[in-house]
Amino acid sequence: MKIGIIGSGNMGRSLGILWAEQGHDVFFGARDLEKGKAVAEAGHGTKGGTNDEAAIFGDILLYTVRGVNPAEVFSSTEVLSGKILIDCNNFDIPEGFAFPPIVQSLAEKLAAEVPNALVVKAFNTMAQEVFELAPTPLKDYEVSVFVAGDDSQARQVVMSLAKDIGFAPVDCGALRNARMIEGVGDFIRFLLISQLQNPYTTISVNTLPPAQQQRLGGRQTSNLH
């Protein structure tokens, strides 16, 4: 697939290289043309240039520019029309990790700013360091990537891109659910930075093999309290 990276910082560079290694065509965009080109020196057939060029190049775009309205990033948001736009961003971390309640997710805000794009939330619940482990041996860990977006086909594409580089994608349905996913992003950053102090902290959602018998006498229906 043709992937454009919008803002080629740590997050964008890492994911872009990983996708390029898997045979995808990647274009690194940056506000500064020279920076985009410099990142593309990582090789694997990647190209680099401006954010406009990256957006025009890609069918799928990774939007790494936190909290910036696309109207300020591109010469015109028309370049995003019909594109799948992956939002991997989280809110700023407040003093003492005292995150305010999430009333509207960053992903929903982005979708409101560019209604002509297909916004998908993903890749906001792990630190860049984790990408160093992709795709092998990351596959062993089954690290979850939570994917939410209103277009189910766009969601499937992003889930497939997550799988390509060793993650275990989890379909999280509609874009509104990005509120929960961004809450998980806040939580994992709190654990990673404040509690466990380990950037390789990850979340895995697993479905365990069922019990052989209902030995504690529980009901058969799910009853998470």
Sites for its own copies among residues 171-210 (CB under 8 A): 171-173, 176-177, 179-181, 183-196, 198-210
The answer to whether 170 contacts its own copies (rule: CB under 8 A) is yes
Minimum Å distance from CB 76 to its own copies?
26
DSSP E strand boundaries for 47-133:
47-50, 60-63, 84-87, 118-121
The answer to whether 17 contacts its own copies (rule: CB under 8 A) is yes
Sites for its own copies among residues 109-128 (CB under 8 A): 124, 126-128
Minimum Å distance from CB 77 to its own copies?
22
Give the C-alpha separation, 212 to 193, whole Å: 39
Nearer of residues 82 and 223 to its own copies, judged by Cβ:
223
Give the C-alpha separation, 120 to 174, whole Å: 9
The answer to whether 135 contacts its own copies (rule: CB under 8 A) is no
Minimum Å distance from CB 57 to its own copies?
21
Sites for its own copies among residues 19-48 (CB under 8 A): 42
Nearer of residues 82 and 210 to its own copies, judged by Cβ:
210
* Amino acid (one-letter) located at 67: G
Nearer of residues 154 and 192 to its own copies, judged by Cβ:
192
Strands 84-87 and 118-121 come out as parallel
Nearer of residues 13 and 35 to its own copies, judged by Cβ:
13
For its own copies, which residue of 2, 10, 75, 152 counts as binding (CB under 8 A)?
10
Tell me, by CB under 8 A, how many residues bind its own copies. 78
Residue 50 CB coordination number (10 Å): 21
* Amino acid (one-letter) located at 121: K
With contacts defined by CB under 8 A, name the span among 44-52, 71-79, 158-166, 167-175 that binds its own copies.
167-175
Q: How far is CA 106 from CA 35, 87, 124, 141, 198, in A?
A: 26, 8, 11, 28, 25
The answer to whether 132 contacts its own copies (rule: CB under 8 A) is yes
Question: Do 146 and 184 touch, CB atoms closer than 8 A?
Answer: yes
Give the C-alpha separation, 195 to 189, whole Å: 9
Give the C-alpha separation, 4 to 58, whole Å: 4
Minimum Å distance from CB 98 to its own copies?
7
| 146 membership: H or E segment, kind and range | strand 144-149
For its own copies, which residue of 61, 64, 79, 162 counts as binding (CB under 8 A)?
64
